[in-house]
Structure 1
Amino acid sequence: MNIPNPDALKYDGTRPLILQNTKTKLQKLYSDKKQYKQLLTDYIQEIDELQSIMYAHDRYGLLLIFQAMDAAGKDGTIKHVLTGVNPMGIKVHPFKRPTENELEHDYLWRASQLLPQRGMIAVFNRSYYEEVLVVKVHPEILIQQQRLPVELTTDLEKVWEQRYQDIVNYERYLYHNGIRTVKFFLNVSRQEQATRLISRIENQAKNWKFEEGDVKEREHWDQYQQAYEDCINATATEIAPWYVIPADNKKNMRLMVGDIVVKEMKKLDMSYPKVDKDRGKELHQFIEVIQSQDNIQEIG
């Protein structure tokens, strides 16, 4: 198995990201479909076991954030990597266009309602990072939809710098409360995105995924690439790193994400609670109680 060292994909503020120099495709990380399925199954089982320990330990929460251009494979990656994890221990939240109620609050408000509790994994399919991505490409949203005071939007560069810092502070706050944040940018090429969008049109089973707006947003491809590069460089920290994942091969992408999630969870200092000797003896006394209950039931 030739899964890349996660450090090669990791951005934690110690080196700059230059997107045009990053790969969107690697050689296959699996020999055939059978091996791919086995590798993915192994990751799922390990994530499930680690989440069980996390739940019992009850000290940490884990926030996984997925960001990408349209058709990069966010939905499929979340589905394939995390299906099989106990549904009691994980919640997935897609971030669509903000509702009127959400627009009446600060931009981090809706995310704050969905953060993981201790022992749980929360997955954000898109996130508060849209506020420095889509909104940066379409700054008119600040006044027209978010209705910010005009005097706060006259210097757009200042707006983005303030938001970057707000997000860094927010993730530091989460860290100080036991919530670990791991962020993925699924890095798809423009050519591969075009192939996938066309497939959504040609395949009737995928028509429901197609949105005209996706085509219109492709006109802003270079702006989005710059927005992602700026955003990742400004918000990549040691305690809340970004992983830039080559996304042209979906199977590769899922294996890399699975590998990183496992490794990040293993960094947490957690274990099943240990029972001392006195409590162990106390517990064993209940075996006799349970057995006597069954004996009484059989006699009755």
Structure 2
Amino acid sequence: MDIKKYRVTPGESIHLSDYPTSDENRIAEDELLDQHIPKSVEELKELHWRLHAEEKNGVLVILQAIDAGGKDEAISYIFSNLNAQGLRTLSVKKPSDTEKKHDYLWRIHEGLPEKGEVGILNRSYYEEVIAPRIHDLLEEEEVPDDQDVWKMRYRQINDFERYLVENGFRVVKFLFNVSKDEQKKRLLERIKDPKKNFEFSFSDVEEREHWDEYQDIFAELVSHTSTEHAPWHVLPADDEWFTRYIVTEVMNDVLREIDPQYPKLTDEDQEKLDEAIKKLENE
């Protein structure tokens, strides 16, 4: 698979319409489920074990989408296969009163990975350049006198991500690009299926009224924050299983670059290990 076709070139000004919500060249679902996804997930599990064992690097995964874009399902079907000891997940929701008293990046720190971990942000600090614009939520003191607040935040986010990368934490960003028709279909499924009612929020329908605004803001933030050190990947999210496969393959590509290895025992530790083996075998 050519994962580069989904990666946004740094410095490129994009429109989401440039990225199809469905890939006409996608692999057939049966083939994905029977062959490609199981193989890709197995590789991801092995690479993640090595990352966790080596404890030299970490990976921060950012999942952004409009409602019903497919983020939760990607976490359920892909990342749930990984070793729980080397995985952490944080869902970024409406900020609490305490969180509002801090800078906008403060609340995501508990979701940042340790070395040897993959950290997943289900939504992320990028919400702070989306929701406040849609609903005019910025406080007066948050607006600088002499510059565009959104461009300022893009710069701050780029600096923050560079800081993470330079300290051994790769940043992998996915935008689930779902069509308005597909979102409607998924929301109706949530409403009509009693087993999925818990996933539905009345605000999901209300937010559809801002569809065009969301599309413009997503395009702008991706254009300003897809960088060499932390590029965005725009996914054809109407194709649910194909999107999950792309996510897995991008993760594998990142971890292959890191190339984590199982730690090698010192001669002294190997001797102790051999003694422990003999002791157990002679019981």
Q: Same fold (TM over 0.5)?
A: yes
* Pair 1:249 & 2:246 matched: no
Determine if the alignment matches structure 1 residue 283 to structure 2 residue 279.
no
The answer to whether the 8 Å contact 1:185/1:244 transfers is: yes
- Equivalences for residues 144-163 of structure 1 within 5 A: 148-149=140-141, 152=143, 158-163=148-153
Equivalent residue number for residue 110 of structure 2: 113
What is the match of residue 43 of structure 2? 46
Which residue of the partner structure matches residue 261 of structure 1? Answer: 251
User: 1:167-246 maps to which residues of 2 (within 5 A)?
Assistant: 167-246=157-236
RMSD of equivalent CA atoms = 2.0
Q: How does 1:119-134 map to 2 (within 5 A)?
A: 119-134=116-131
CA distance in 2, matches of 1:104, 1:62: 28
TM-score under structure 1 normalisation? 0.88
Aligned-partner residue type, residue 35 of structure 2: Q
Partner SS for 1:205: coil
Note closer, same or farther for the CA distance 1:162–1:31 as it changes in structure 2 (3 Å cut): closer
Moved more, 24-33 or 170-179: 24-33
- Structure 1, unpaired ranges of 5+: none
Paired AA for residue 219 in structure 2:
E
Asked if the contact 2:11–2:224 (Cα under 8 Å) also holds between the matched residues in 1, the reply is: no
Q: Deviations over 1:25-73 (max 9, x none)?
A: 0136334536424322222221111111112222111000000010111
The alpha carbon displacement at 1:293 in A equals 6.3
Structure 2 length as normaliser, TM-score? 0.93
Equivalent position of 1:82 in the other structure: 79
8 Å Cα contact 2:32-2:241 kept in structure 1: no
Q: 1:292, 1:149 → 2: CA distance?
A: 67
Is 2:56–2:168's contact at 8 Å kept on the other side of the alignment?
yes
Report the CA distance between 1:292 and its aligned residue: 4.5
**Amino acid of the structure 2 residue aligned with 1:283:** Q
The residue type paired with residue 157 of structure 2 is: I
The 1:14–1:285 alpha-carbon spacing in structure 2 relative to 1, beyond 3 Å, is same
Cα offset, 1:149, TM superposition = 1.5
- In structure 2, the CA distance between the partners of 1:179 and 1:35, relative to structure 1 (3 Å rule), is closer
Question: Any unmatched runs of 5+ in structure 2?
Answer: none
Relative to 1, partners in 2 of residues 1:198 and 1:73: Cα closer, same or farther, differing over 3 Å?
Answer: same
In 1: Cα distance, 2:167 partner to 2:156 partner: 17
Query: Which of 121, 135, 142 is the matching residue for 2:138?
Result: 142
**Preserved contact between residue 30 and residue 36 of structure 1 (Cα < 8 Å):** no
Moved more, 261-270 or 70-79: 261-270
> Does structure 2 retain, via aligned residues, the 8 Å contact 1:24–1:187?
yes
Cα drift, residue 154 of structure 1: 6.3
Work out the CA distance in 2 between the residues paired with 1:293 and 1:71.
53
Distance in 2 (alpha carbons) for counterparts of 1:252 and 1:35: 7
Contact between 2:64 and 2:123, CA under 8 Å: does it hold in 1? yes
